[in-house]
Structures are given as structure tokens and as C-alpha cells.
Amino acid sequence: MIFVIFTILTIIGCNKKDVWKESSLFESGGYTMIGEKEKLGFIYDDSEVVKFYPDKIQKYMWHFWGTKEELERPLKVLATHEDGGDPIVLIGGKNSVEPHNGADMSMPSNMSLPESGMWKMDAYFDDNLFGTVYVKVHEKK
């Protein structure tokens, strides 16, 4: 019985670690993006210029693929640290559906995350989860 419980806890722990991996990079419209190809992402190539560091405000261009009906609803992006805590609102409010860089909609944003580690960014249109991007915030130099 103890072996079964230990095995279940190990599997659950391993699965969480597998989920909290930085999202894949992909190409669209001549740009490298991080996220889920043909779903959502933002321009990011893991270069020193665009890497996340604690409390460093950076400009990122989000891109979304979907129907006009999905994408014209209000957008909200919430970020949660891998250690838990209350989510941070990164983006919130109205948006315009303008195709750009191969996506059906794009939106500029200024984002900053307060501490190093892995972060999950959940994008919602009108309170419906649309997709998730995982990023790493690096230690300050």
C-alpha cells in the first residue's frame, strides 16, 4: 500500500514538472515566437535582449490565431509563478482584431514579472481560457 501511494505521488510530481517547461519557439511572419504554433504566442527568440528578468519591463507583441468571434472578445492574460500565489494581470481590456505577421490578431504589450523561475501565462478571451505560454524568468545579473 505504501508503495502504491509513493508511486502515485511520484507520478503526480513528475507530471507537474513536465508541464512547467518553457514553451516551444516557432516561426511566423518572419519572426520567432514563443507559445503554441497557430494558436497563440509572442515575439521572443530567447536572445539577451528579450529574455525575462525580474521587474524588467519589456515590450512584446502577442499574436493569436482563431475566429473573429473568438478574438474580438476582451483579452486578459494572467501570469502565475510555479511556486503558486495569486495570479498577476499582465494584459487586460479591449483589443482590436488586426491580422499581423501571419496571425489573425496581434496586440502589443508591456510585460514584467516580479521574480525568477517558471511562469505560466494563461490567455483568456471573455473569461474563456484560449491558451497558455510558459516562460522562464532568469536570475538578475
CATH number of the domain that 49 lies in?
2.60.40.3830
* Averaged pLDDT of the chain: 87
**How many independent structural domains does the chain possess?**
1
Higher-pLDDT residue of 6 and 98 is 98
Domain containing residue 57? 25-137
Look at residue 15 in the predicted model and tell me its pLDDT. Answer: 47
Q: Considering the domain boundaries, does residue 126 fall inside one?
A: yes
Report the DSSP pairing between strands 40-43 and 31-36.
antiparallel
Mean pLDDT of 88-96: 84
Please name which of 131, 129, 135 lies closest in space to residue 113, comparing C-alpha atoms.
Answer: 135
Q: Considering the domain boundaries, does residue 11 fall inside one?
A: no
Mean pLDDT of 32-40: 97
From residue 28, give the alpha-carbon distance in Å to each of 38, 61, 92, 100, 136. Answer: 9, 12, 24, 10, 21
Q: Considering the domain boundaries, does residue 90 fall inside one?
A: yes
Q: Considering the domain boundaries, does residue 49 fall inside one?
A: yes
Model confidence at 140, pLDDT cuts 50, 70, 90, reads confident
